[in-house]
């Protein structure tokens, strides 16, 4: 109890002894100049996304194409791999990819149920909608 009273008296003494500080006469001008410089720097930096819109479109097209290819489960119409000449790979002694790539029927035994197919398509659409909504929300917050 005595210690609390001593601390309280000490605090009052320190507050009474402390002088009120006032800023220099050109303090306001310095602050406004620094604010002006900061605003000019922020206007000079234009936002450029890390991944451009063209690349996002390319990624989306590749994702949709791969999804359709996997979901249809048919590889009879996709004979592009069998038409490619892999004879150069046969000459390389350490790489033997020709045997594994030449089998075009890799996805022949993969079958997805209708429930999985519809849910995969539905959730893919929801992901794109969510990305669009979040992007617009962040753009509104920035500007």
pLDDT at 95: 42
Burial tier of 22 (Cβ tally within 10 Å: 0-12, 13-18, 19+): exposed
Q: Could you read off the pLDDT tens digit of each residue along the chain, which spans 143 residues? A: 667 778 888 888 888 877 777 788 888 888 898 888 888 777 677 777 888 899 999 999 998 888 887 777 655 555 565 666 666 655 655 544 444 544 555 555 667 777 888 888 899 999 989 988 888 888 888 76
CA distances from 126 to 25, 31, 120, 137 (A): 59, 48, 10, 16
Q: What's residue 57's pLDDT?
A: 92
Residues 5/11, Cβ–Cβ less than 8 Å = no
Question: What pLDDT does residue 40 have?
Answer: 78
């Amino acid at each position: 109890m005595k210690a609390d009273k001593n601390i309280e008296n000490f605090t009052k003494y320190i507050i009474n002894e402390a002088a009120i500080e006032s800023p220099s006469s050109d303090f306001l001008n310095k602050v406004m100049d620094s604010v002006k410089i900061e605003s000019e720097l922020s206007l000079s930096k234009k936002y450029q996304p890390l991944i451009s819109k063209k690349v996002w479109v390319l990624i989306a097209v590749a994702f949709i194409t791969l999804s359709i290819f996997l979901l249809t489960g048919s590889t009879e119409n996709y004979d592009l791999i069998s038409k490619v000449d892999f004879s150069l790979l046969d000459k390389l002694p350490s790489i033997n990819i020709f045997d594994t790539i030449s089998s075009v029927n890799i996805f022949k035994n993969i079958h997805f149920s209708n429930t999985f197919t519809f849910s995969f398509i539905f959730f893919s659409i929801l992901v794109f909608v969510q990305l669009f909504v979040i992007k617009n929300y962040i753009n509104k917050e920035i500007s």
